[in-house]
Amino acid sequence: MLTILRGVKWVVGKLFATVEFVIPLSRFSLSLGGKITTLKEQTTVLLNQLSEIMVPTLVVWGAKDPIVPARQAYAAAELITDCQVKVFEDAGHSVYRDKVGEFSQTLAKFLG
């Protein structure tokens, strides 16, 4: 039983570790519904594709995001031609749930 608890603690620690998509990640992989996803591969794909976005873009981020730091919003915006960044100070990873009203207003204003 103690071994299982240690394993759960390890997995949770890995899932909630800070993810840097600008800095190369380790080869840590996790299994989701039988599909293996490598964080490093996701990172590379994301970086390569951001510069291909050719439409006005709004990057929405939570300042208290425990998974991906808010500074990554600005790093992403630098790669997108026409990009605005909105960081919600009291929101975490799921801004649309943490700040429903403010998120909706921000999105409506962006969409015009």
Return the structure tokens found at 3.
Answer: 């071994």
pLDDT (tens place) for every residue of the chain, 112 residues total? 555 556 555 555 555 544 444 444 444 444 444 444 455 555 555 677 888 899 999 999 999 988 888 888 898 899 999 999 999 999 999 999 999 999 999 999 999 9
**Please, what's the b/e burial string for 93-109 (b: 16 or more CB within 10 A of its CB; e: otherwise)?**
eebeebbeebbeebeee
pTM over 0.95: no
Do residues 68 and 19 touch, judged by C-beta distance below 8 A? yes
* CATH number, domain with residue 47: 3.40.50.1820
Domain carrying residue 46:
2-111
Q: State how many domains the chain has.
A: 1
